[in-house]
Amino acid sequence: MTRSRKKAPVDWHALADVQLPGLQQAKRDDLRPGGHHDGLAFDGLALGDLRGDDTAFLECRICACVIEEGTLQRARLRSCLLEDVRATVLDTSDSTWADVVVRGSRIGALLAHGAELVRVTVDHGLLDYVNLRGATLSQCQFVDCRIGELDLGAGELTDVRFSGCEISSLVVSGCTLDEVDLRGAQLAALDGIGSLAGSLITEAQLVRLAPALATHLGIRVLPPE
């Protein structure tokens, strides 16, 4: 008889930190579509309408930068820190993120549908709209974030947690969830209650979700006779 291996617990504290080497300050013109950036610091830059599709970032820092409408479609980010970034729209659809920390950033619309996120931390973020439809998330966490709408529809999430987060609207329709911890999230609205299998919630959250769960299961709740 073969015994299944017990999954090792995720070190969430370690995920919230990224170690970077000595970095070289980059210029605005260094960012270009298809570029490869290694060990660079993009600090305090006005990036405007950033165009960086198919760009690779390895051990880079993007700090205190302002982006109006940026596109990083199919970009690859590994061992990077994004800190105090201000963006109106940031399109990172079909991108790949690994060992990335996004800290203290304000983003109006983050478009990351079809993206692959592995060991990613979003810490103290203020995000109006996040589109992660069809995305794959593994060992990712949202810590002390305020999110307007978070669309995870048809995504695959494994070992994902929310801690101290306020989410106005969460969409999980068609999702595949495995150890997705929602206990630290205040949810004002939830779409896709039938896709919550594999998630962790509190008793208080269960009570609030009970009417929607009953409707989903076709249960009629009537007053006693």
Dump pLDDT digits (tens) for 14-33.
999 999 999 999 998 888 89
Q: How confident is the model at residue 4 (pLDDT cuts 50, 70, 90)?
A: low
The region that residue 4 occupies, defined by phi over 0 for left and psi between -120 and 50 for alpha, beta otherwise, is beta
Longest Cα pair distance anywhere in the chain, in angstroms? 75
- Residue 14, domain member (yes or no): no
Closest CA to 105 of 49, 160, 54, 144: 144
Share of the chain above pLDDT 90, in %: 85
- The values of phi and psi at residue 181, to 5°, are -95, 105
- Residue 76, domain member (yes or no): yes
Q: Quick check: 212 pLDDT over 90?
A: no
CA dihedral 40, 114, 188, 220 (to 10 degrees): -160
CATH number, position 206: 2.160.20
- Residue 35, domain member (yes or no): yes
Q: How many domains does the chain have?
A: 1
- Residue 171, domain member (yes or no): yes
Whole domain around residue 55: which residue ranges?
Answer: 25-217
Whole-model pTM? 0.92
Q: Quick check: 2 pLDDT over 80?
A: no
- Residue 142, domain member (yes or no): yes
